[in-house]
Every structure is written in C-alpha cells, then in structure tokens.
Structure 1
C-alpha cells in the first residue's frame, strides 16, 4: 500500500510540474467549465425556443419515437389515437369513449390526433394537434369555419361530457373561428385541475358502474345546469 501510494504521489507531482511549466493546468478546467456552461445555456435556450401550441404545450416533431406522443388504444372501440401520454391521454380517451357509447359509434378513420407541426399557426387552436393535446372527430363531417354540424341531442351529450371533464377540454365549436371537429386540452402543462381530473377518471375504471360506458343522464337538471354554465364561460373566453 505504501509503495503504491508513493508511486501515485510521484506521478502526481510530475504531472503538476508539467502543468505549471506549460501554464495549462490552472486554465484548462476553467475553460472546460465555461464550455459546459455555454453548452447547458444553449440547450436551455433551444428548449425554450421550441414552439408551443395555442394552449401552451410544446409541439412534437414526431410520434412513437423519442416523443411524449404515442399511438394509444381507445378501449372498447377498436380504435387508436396519437396523443400525449399520461394525463392528457386519460382525458381525451375518456371523451372518445363517451362519444362512442353515447353519441355515435366511432369507426376507423373517424378520429385523428397528433399532426406534425409544419404548417400550423401557433396562434390557432388547431396547433394543439401538434402538441398531442387535441383530437378531431370526423373532420370531414364538420368542416372548419362552419357551424350546425351536430344534431341537438348529440350536442347535449357533448356539453355534458365537457362539463364532466370540468372544462379541462374545450370544444372548437365555441371559438370565434369555429372548428366543430376539434377538441383540445384547455389548461397549461402542470395544471392541478388536469392532474385531479385524470386521477379521478383512472379511479372510475376500478369501480364498476362508473366512467365511460355507464349510461349518464345529460338531461338531469344538475348536469344541464353545469353544462350550460361551462358553455357560457367557454364562449366568453373564445379566441
């Protein structure tokens, strides 16, 4: 042990002497630290410069590969949708399942989720598709800019679903430039409301008699009142 320690000490002293002689030993670590700081700053700036959709979520360049967006199943429908995984997925999949069970059966091609961000205006609600936080239901049936595509009884259920989701989801039909096929997450990343809602929806899956697929009464007085209150609120904040 003594022999090894002495050898290491001699080698260390020799390196120190070479470093002092060349004048590089004291400056090299400083330069490395500066380079690391510059690199970290550049990475942070790059992250900050990544475009976000209208609702504040970062747009994704790809899905199903090094991304927060993945193609996920919609249980009970046989369909899949490309969506931001986690709480956003839980909420949007619940919406789709209620539509499938209570409004009209969804078929292959009826639902689209994430789209590549190229061509999207970040100031438009459709940009939410590029962050994986929105979806379209039968876009061919409800062309953007037009209204009246939903039957009154269908719209009653849509309003009930939005109220059940506590306003975390916004319907594009309420926007100034209507887009009746579009449904978007309407809260920012990290929203406590989104977390609470997703946790509640996941809890429903574990208790028979609750959640999507269990008949709800959208004509119930309390549910109608909640739906109408949310409608007024979301129309008042139309963009």
Structure 2
C-alpha cells in the first residue's frame, strides 16, 4: 500500500514537472552573445564580446523577436545588424522597435564588414540627426528589437536550432569605442544551460524561471516519502 502511494505521488510529481516545462518553454528568453570576427583591436573586440547580447523570444507562436542590448560599461555602440537564414524567418515581415535608438531597414554596406555570411536582411542606425553612434545601442537603457514572422511552419524550436547549428546567422557592427575603431561580431554563446556544453550543433533546452523551485519541492516530497517508509518499517 505504501509503495503504491509513493509510486502514485512520484508519478504525479513527474507529470507536474512535464506540464510545467511544456507550459512555459514557449515563453522562454534565449540569450546569445557575440564573437569578434574582424579583431582590429584585441581590447575593442573584448569590450564588444563582453557587453553585446541578443535576446531571442517567441511572440505568440507566430513571430520571433531579436532584442539587441549593450551593458555599456565601456563606450561602444551597436550601429548595424545583419541576418542570414535559409527558410525559417520571413524577412519581408520585419518590424523594428526602437528604444532610445533610431534604426531603419537597410544598411550600407549591405553585408557585415569582414563577416562570414551574406546578409538577407539588415538594419542600420540612422546617421542624422546625431550620428550613427548616438542613434545605435549605445547606453545600458537602449535596445533595438527586430521581429520577424515565422516562415512556413517554423516555430521557436526551429529558430533556436537554426541559431545553434548555423542555419541562422546574426552579425553586428560596433563603433563608438574610445579608440575610435570599429569591430564586427557574429552570434555565439551556443550553450546548453543544463549540460553547459557550448558550440555549434548544441540544442539549447530552455529552463523555465520557476523550475528550480519545482525541483526543490519534488526533493522535499522524496524526503517526506523516505521518512514515512522508515517509520512504517
């Protein structure tokens, strides 16, 4: 009888964990970093790699957003953004949302300077008024979000897989360094948060924000069950 109760309790807990993950995974935010490709300056490249990031998030199952950020500890500004993709994103549907920035569709040059891919879509910080650096992602409170509809039957899982295996490329051009130089970077940081394995081909599995609390609760259930067993014995 006790064994049956424990099995039922564990089974219910496992089902709750599965439902919890399934119910929140679509709302997960996937954060990626960037690696330098031009490396004109070791210092500038290091600054950009440590400060620039992009948050990838599903938008209602019909679109995906890419939010570009800068911690702005040291001077720099993301002034151009480039995307390349096989068939997962509908670039014609692109919507740019500026927050403290002024980006518009199109870019000159049309491809990431020194980059490893040809861009299918690009956006550029406006030159006027204020200049590209001031209109780019320059301060900690700045961001620019580019949202695309999914192409065909694609979903967030396909986009994340594409980012991890290189099907989707994202690049940024950074200016505004104290040195006066510029650097190009491409998306990286492809890490599985559970195994902490990073690199091309790693499929990132989102861990919902409240999942650690659920695991703690399940551990408590296990301890309680073992105590009941010892008392019965």
- TM-score calculated relative to the size of structure 1: 0.31
Say which structure is richer in strand: 2
Q: Which has the larger radius of gyration?
A: 1
The structure with the largest helix share of the pair is 1
TM-score scaled to structure 2, two decimals? 0.32
Q: Which has the higher contact order (CA 8 A, sep 6+)?
A: 2
